[in-house]
Amino acid sequence: MVYITLFFVSLISATLFPLGSEGLLIFNINEGYNLYALLIFATLGNVLGSIINYILGFKGEQFLQNKKILDENKIFKYKKFFEKYGFYSLFLSWAPIIGDPITLIAGVFKYSFKKFIFIVLISKFLRYLFLSLVTLYLI
């Protein structure tokens, strides 16, 4: 049950809802649960949350244009920018505050889904791995 809870907390925290999974991960590590399982469940939940953001952005672009929230000319300009630097910016998907909107923007700009998954999976895993190592060896 611990792993499923961590999965869902990680999933929700990767969407635009304000929730953090780091505290639960640290608590579970200190309680002695299997580190590898914790890393897998936290990473997969967080990546799935980012995929939800991507899909919302992908499907929501037309809605935002219809509501005049996004200007079509600006979208084209920003798409070109994201095509050039999106790869690097997605490595910040692990970061608090800016990470979740970046995954949404990747969907709006229809960034390559395969590249998206690859980058987000690596960055989310490395964040949880770093946090786990700090917890194990410094706390």
How far are the Cα atoms of 9, 61, 132, 134 from residue 129, in angstroms, in the given order?
Answer: 17, 34, 5, 9
Does residue 83 register a pLDDT over 90? no
Measured distance CA(10)–CA(88) in Å, rounded = 23
Q: Are 23 and 10 in contact (CB under 8 A)?
A: no
| Backbone region of residue 12 per phi and psi (left: phi > 0; alpha: psi in -120 to 50; beta: other values) | alpha
How far are the Cα atoms of 10, 28, 44, 76 from residue 120, in angstroms, in the given order?
Answer: 14, 23, 10, 24
Q: List pLDDT tens digits, range 38-80.
A: 999 999 999 999 999 999 999 887 777 777 776 777 777 788 8
